[in-house]
């Protein structure tokens, strides 16, 4: 696996190195030794699978607060998404900055998202399935969010933002988090 840094410290692209033959391929997508060697989380207590319909649909931006923040490893199993993270750590030099990465079934990339980053994505095809590894169990009272269309953050979604859930539409902006 390749671990590719992004402009946001701790956010990494994890790129498998598939072994291919006439039958298809085999690729390691998570390896405790390799993750540990890079100083990354190796304990995954929950796995989530989400399926999103309609090109342009957005889910996010979500994270889990202290004292049980989530680290996520997100991979696209079907379709293609623009996966986005925003630094929401108070006092961080990159607070409010965002990074976007195309994840697809074809490129097989995953995004490693450390604690303190909001996460969301926009479906770039009619159906997109994402698979998440989570470092903590979901705690509804710790669930937090940031508006995906907050002008102060300025995420450059490639398509018009569609189908925000009522919960996601009511999330605060960055100014309310600071």
Cα R_g (the chain), whole angstroms: 16
- Domains, in order of start, for the chain: 2-170 (2.60.120.10)
Tell whether the model's pLDDT for residue 133 goes beyond 90: yes
Q: What is the pTM of this model?
A: 0.95
Strand 98-104: give its sheet, edge to edge: 98-104, 80-87, 117-123, 58-64, 143-145
Does 178 score more than 80 pLDDT?
A: no
Q: Is residue 96 very low, low, confident or very high in pLDDT (cuts 50, 70, 90)?
A: very high
Write down the catalytic residue from 99, 119, 132, 138: 132
Q: Is 132 a catalytic residue?
A: yes
138 tagged catalytic: no
36 three-state secondary structure: helix
Pairing between strand 117-123 and 80-87? antiparallel
Calpha distance 118→138 (Å, rounded) = 15
Please state, in angstroms and rounded to a whole number, the distance separating the CA atoms of residues 22 and 82: 30
Which entry of 62, 99, 112, 119 is annotated as an active-site residue? 62
What pLDDT is attached to residue 177? 85
pLDDT of 43 > 80? The answer is yes
Split at pLDDT 50, 70, 90, the class of 147 is: very high
């Amino acid at each position: 696996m390749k671990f590719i840094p992004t402009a946001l410290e701790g956010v990494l692209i994890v790129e498998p190195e598939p072994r291919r033959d006439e039958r298809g391929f085999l690729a390691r997508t998570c390896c405790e030794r390799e993750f540990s060697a890079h100083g990354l989380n190796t304990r995954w207590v929950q796995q989530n699978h989400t399926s999103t319909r309609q090109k342009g649909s957005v889910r996010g931006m979500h994270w889990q607060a202290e004292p049980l923040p989530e680290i996520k490893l997100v991979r696209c199993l079907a379709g293609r998404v623009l996966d986005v993270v925003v630094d929401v750590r108070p006092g961080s030099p990159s607070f409010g900055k965002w990074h976007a990465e195309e994840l697809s079934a074809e490129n097989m990339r995953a995004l490693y998202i450390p604690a303190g980053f909001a996460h969301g994505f926009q479906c770039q095809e009619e159906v997109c399935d994402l698979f998440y590894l989570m470092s903590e169990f979901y705690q509804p009272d710790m669930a937090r969010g940031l508006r995906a269309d907050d002008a102060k953050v300025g995420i450059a979604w490639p398509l018009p933002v569609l189908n925000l859930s009522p919960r996601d539409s009511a999330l605060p902006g960055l100014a309310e988090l600071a």
